[in-house]
């Protein structure tokens, strides 16, 4: 699948940045070309919230080293 494929945007990313902060990023429900980002407590909360907000989407985990 190419990076420009529209189906590539049907992912929710649960991310931990270099400072240790966790966030989730997902396609915006009303503006498909935009991304909705919110901060979460940890990986467990991020994964749970992603599943609740975008059921059926693939969840991608990214952890900065």
Locate the domains of the chain by residue range.
11-63
- The whole model's pTM is what? 0.75
What digits encode the pLDDT tens for the residues 5-53?
Answer: 344 458 999 999 999 999 999 988 888 789 999 999 999 999 999 999 9
Cβ(57)–Cβ(10) below 8 Å: yes
Q: Which residues pair with 26 in a beta bridge?
A: 36
Question: What is the C-alpha separation between 56 and 58, in angstroms, rounded?
Answer: 7
- Kindly tell me if the per-residue pLDDT of 56 is higher than 50: yes
Q: Which residues pair with 11 in a beta bridge?
A: 58
- Kindly tell me if the per-residue pLDDT of 4 is higher than 90: no
- Residue 29: what pLDDT? 83
- Residue 7: what pLDDT? 46
Q: Which residues pair with 27 in a beta bridge?
A: 35
Question: What is the C-alpha separation between 60 and 3, in angstroms, rounded?
Answer: 15
């Amino acid at each position: 699948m190419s990076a420009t494929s529209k189906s590539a945007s049907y992912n929710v990313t649960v991310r931990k940045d270099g400072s240790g902060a966790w966030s989730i990023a997902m396609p915006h429900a009303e503006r498909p070309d935009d991304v909705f980002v919110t901060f979460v407590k940890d990986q467990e909360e991020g994964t749970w919230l992603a599943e609740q907000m975008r059921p059926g989407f693939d969840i991608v985990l990214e952890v900065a080293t």
